[in-house]
């Protein structure tokens, strides 16, 4: 008896679901439409098929810089050898002539290289500053100060080591205005972060929304 009641309840549940679906379809048809629009998230493919390569090797960027009293080499290497592997989901090795030898003999290697150019222009302008002299006692005053304008251009190329085929080549530009000349490291990191963030988005999968329709 209990088994029969369970069967009846199951039959009623299925019947109710079918009725609800038919009602929904009828409602859509009654509105003059035979499809329902939905938005789904899709993922674009990588700009490069990294699975084709057993090794990815980074060769130091050719650096042209107007920065004085600061060498950004450490920060540049950190991005390409520590941050970039997280983006491409593969280890990146620093090129070493003794370890890697002639890269053209390799059929499984992707080589990353490029250039980084940093131009800095200085000018003076009047702005409000804090008077730190004994007479000023921390009061505000207007004075001439020196500021910098940074222009950074990053070009990155990915090549197949075996035949030299260029798989990826992009140029990125970023600017920084009204920078403090005394904060070279901070200024560099601020612009470099922006420009490498754009590079990372180019080299990774990107998510976007697309419209899809369900036919009724």
Residues 124 and 21 in one domain: no
Q: What is the pLDDT of residue 20?
A: 55
Q: What is the pLDDT of residue 3?
A: 42
Reading the block at residue 136, the tokens are 């000023």
Residues 123 and 166 in one domain: yes
Q: What is the pLDDT of residue 130?
A: 78
Report which DSSP code applies to 98.
H
Residues 9 and 99 in one domain: no
- Cβ neighbours of residue 15 closer than 8 Å, sequence gap 6 or more: none
Residues 12 and 111 in one domain: no
Q: What is the pLDDT of residue 110?
A: 94
Burial of 108 (0-12, 13-18, 19+ CB in 10 A): exposed
Spans of the chain, pLDDT less than 50 = 1-7, 9, 208
Please enumerate, as own/partner, the contacts of 190-193 that have beta carbons within 8 Å and a separation of 24 or more: 191/150, 191/152, 192/72, 192/75, 192/76, 192/79, 192/152
Reading the block at residue 77, the tokens are 């290497």
Q: What is the pLDDT of residue 7?
A: 45
In SS3 terms, 180-201 reads as CCCCHHHHHHHHHHHHHHHHHH
- 125 assigned to some structural domain: yes
Q: What is the pTM of this model?
A: 0.69
- 198 assigned to some structural domain: yes
- 216 assigned to some structural domain: no
Reading the block at residue 165, the tokens are 């085929």
Residues 19 and 64 in one domain: no
CB atoms inside a 10 Å sphere around CB 144: 9
Q: What is the pLDDT of residue 192?
A: 97
- 56 assigned to some structural domain: yes
């Amino acid at each position: 008896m209990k088994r029969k009641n369970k069967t009846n309840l199951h039959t009623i549940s299925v019947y109710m679901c079918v009725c609800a679906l038919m009602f929904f379809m009828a409602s859509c048809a009654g509105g003059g439409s035979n499809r329902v629009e939905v938005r789904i998230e899709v993922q674009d493919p990588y700009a490069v098929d990294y699975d084709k390569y057993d090794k990815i090797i980074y060769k130091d960027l050719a650096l042209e810089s107007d920065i004085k009293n600061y060498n950004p080499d450490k920060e540049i290497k950190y991005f390409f050898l520590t941050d970039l592997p997280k983006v491409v989901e593969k280890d990146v090795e620093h090129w070493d002539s003794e370890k890697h030898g002639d890269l053209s003999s390799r059929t499984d290697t992707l080589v990353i290289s490029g250039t980084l150019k940093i131009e800095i222009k200085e000018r003076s302008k009047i702005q409000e500053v804090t008077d730190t002299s004994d007479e000023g006692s921390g009061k505000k005053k207007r004075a001439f100060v020196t500021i910098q304008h940074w222009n950074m251009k990053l070009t990155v190329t990915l090549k197949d080591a075996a035949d030299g085929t260029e798989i990826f080549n992009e140029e990125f530009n970023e600017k920084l205005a009204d920078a403090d000349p005394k904060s070279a490291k901070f200024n560099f990191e601020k612009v470099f972060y922006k420009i490498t963030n754009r590079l990372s988005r180019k080299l990774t999968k990107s998510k976007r929304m697309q419209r899809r329709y369900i036919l009724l």
